[in-house]
Structure 1
């Protein structure tokens, strides 16, 4: 099979298309998927640049998100059959093969049926961002109807899904954006207010929006100083969820403590990294429920651009530019 191989950490050029042996089913619960598309996520660019979680197991094939058609199943697979269209988030962290390839082997506990209304490209763009937004808002933030939410980078991969999930829960949403084009985009997703963070103090804008009280839940998808600048925008006893590790060189938690905030750290990769089977099944259930929402027209996945598998490096360069709306996807010819 053809696959994009990362032989060392570095710039996008370290990603090279090569011919490799097809992966084989080794456990009875595994499934062989012929991939049609692979999502490109910030975790991919970070691992490419700094090295994978398992540097002693190089070279590596990146890509956590995949969508394709089942080609073979292990003897213990119960739910899926050859020919089923599926999507999932699995592999690509440096130990198990990722999805920048024509074929991949995945355990059935990670897999869900692909939403019928999505193309393979849209389906491959969905899993990581859906699970991240779902766990952040629903599991970590315990979002309820009537709450007010601040979502950073609402036009981004995780952000554009988070806006929709928050609205589905009955919340009011304000979100940070950088351009009028992105403001128009998030408004179509249901955002109640856009804050142009380059021209406006977003924390003050959020306070004004909530009549000085602060939002019930803030969702930080940016990190760095943004995490600490968000603290004053959250109401006393409110929730602040971040998908980045707080960098204490850029701030401190004194104000958060004074406001008695509940701070939650979200890493949707934890079940994969820790081998937590029940949590892996929970994430597959999230994808199954999300497929229902997608098929009902209540949840949309925006793919801004696709690239051939051989141009994975170009996709990484564009993603690292920081200007992407929605998601980037690699298309895989079979």
Structure 2
């Protein structure tokens, strides 16, 4: 009877995770965190076999293998659909090989943790942001996905998998647009990153040739956007605009959204997180430009376009050199005989440049004098671990604190096989002002 009583006591102690009195029994009940959860050898994926064709549901496709020490394996639960997922096959771009697996963001569960020390653990609920579209292991349209731990965000329990799958790519695009192209310092917002300084601290040879100039020479220190500056976002109803406005407001910027007011005006005006200081109807682009100029009277230096070349061209008119403000006086410590830095040296009479960032396209013309065009250096996120880690760690804090809210979910489709249906709905313009999500399970 005494032996049975002891076993019952041990069972109860293990269940409640209460340490027993002897060192030997205590060691026996400690459970180490597993390195992985058993996974199958094959899975179901969506494959694109040719441009301008639908994706094909394919079974018995190999589960991707973890290769590097910083990689994790995630079992997908929900996938967020993005315009690039239908535009790439329709217009035959950003498809590095065939057959191809697409998809840029998903939420799921970690089933294999990194080999090196990491903040991620097995069974963590996470958001995977896949900006590395050339590595098919990291594409979202499959049941199991490989990701760098520095491109993976732990989700708070307050967010569902569906909500978590809505904002990853938009967050990266918004943070890099604001932090790199505009120089916004987020250090006052939950110890966010100063991407302007972080990127300039990276060895130049680490940066890819096609983004090095944008990262290092696109904006001067004295021109950086600061609290109180104005930012205009054309296409303010998109997911990217949603997150951009939220982050800009957190940094103290004043915001303008140019949208179809009949469709989105009431929602934006009544939404606490994305309510802007000025809401302008996009129906008549020239009238929108006139309204912005009339209200801001030369104070608008920054614009982000989320729509395309035509709207970017309209936004450029609102950023014309005639609207530029003068730069702040140089400090007494500034060298008076230092060589000039284009577009101007910071002194009393210098003009601050205007900056236009195109998420999907820029005007065909060359930038007017005093205006600079920017493209978002998105590959910074997956090619420079320090940048990726800074962004995902910050996003974890923003989501846990509720300072950033996921975009509205317009609808949820069921199963990988429903992705083609969802993309058709996006082609037809049925999804606007929010996100379409696919529940994988």
1:190–1:91 CA distance, 2 compared to 1 (3 A): closer
Structure index of larger Rg: 2
Maintained 8 Å contact 1:148/1:215: yes
**Rounded Cα–Cα distance in structure 1 between residues aligned with 2:148 and 2:391:** 16
TM-superposed CA distance for 1:116, in Å, is 3.2
Q: In structure 2, which of residues 123, 140, 145 is the aligned counterpart of residue 83 of structure 1? A: 123
Maintained 8 Å contact 1:243/1:265: yes
**Partner SS, residue 136 of structure 2:** coil
Q: Please state which structure has a larger fraction of its residues in strand.
A: 1
User: How do residues 1-334 of structure 1 correspond to structure 2 at under 5 angstroms?
Assistant: 1-11=43-53, 14-19=54-59, 20-51=61-92, 53-55=94-96, 57-76=97-116, 78-90=118-130, 93-97=133-137, 98-142=139-183, 143-187=225-269, 188=271, 189-199=274-284, 201-210=287-296, 212-234=297-319, 235-236=323-324, 237-248=353-364, 252-253=365-366, 256-258=367-369, 260-269=370-379, 271-272=381-382, 276-278=383-385, 281-302=386-407, 303-308=409-414, 309-322=416-429, 323-333=431-441
1:197–1:15 CA distance, 2 compared to 1 (3 A): same
**Rounded Cα–Cα distance in structure 1 between residues aligned with 2:377 and 2:437:** 21
1:287–1:243 CA distance, 2 compared to 1 (3 A): same
Q: TM-score, normalised on structure 2?
A: 0.67
Of 150-159 and 298-307, more deviation after overlay is shown by: 298-307
**Partner SS, residue 154 of structure 1:** coil
Of 150-159 and 82-91, more deviation after overlay is shown by: 82-91
**Rounded Cα–Cα distance in structure 2 between residues aligned with 1:161 and 1:126:** 8
In the alignment of these two chains, the number of paired residues is: 318
**What are the superposed Cα offsets for residues 251-273 of structure 1, whole Å, 9 maximum, x if unpaired?**
x23xx423x0232211424554x
Maintained 8 Å contact 2:151/2:381: no
**What are the superposed Cα offsets for residues 104-150 of structure 1, whole Å, 9 maximum, x if unpaired?**
12222322212332211111111100110111122211232101111
TM-superposed CA distance for 1:10, in Å, is 0.9
**Partner SS, residue 107 of structure 2:** strand
**Partner SS, residue 75 of structure 1:** coil
**Rounded Cα–Cα distance in structure 2 between residues aligned with 1:266 and 1:112:** 21
Maintained 8 Å contact 1:127/1:287: no
Maintained 8 Å contact 1:301/1:326: no
Q: Which has the higher contact order (CA 8 A, sep 6+)?
A: 1
Aligned-residue CA RMSD in angstroms? Answer: 2.1
Q: Structure 1 residue runs of 4+, over 6 Å off?
A: none
Unaligned residue ranges in structure 1 (runs of 5+): none
**What are the superposed Cα offsets for residues 217-260 of structure 1, whole Å, 9 maximum, x if unpaired?**
11111121222221221232222111134252xxx23xx423x0
TM-superposed CA distance for 1:99, in Å, is 0.8
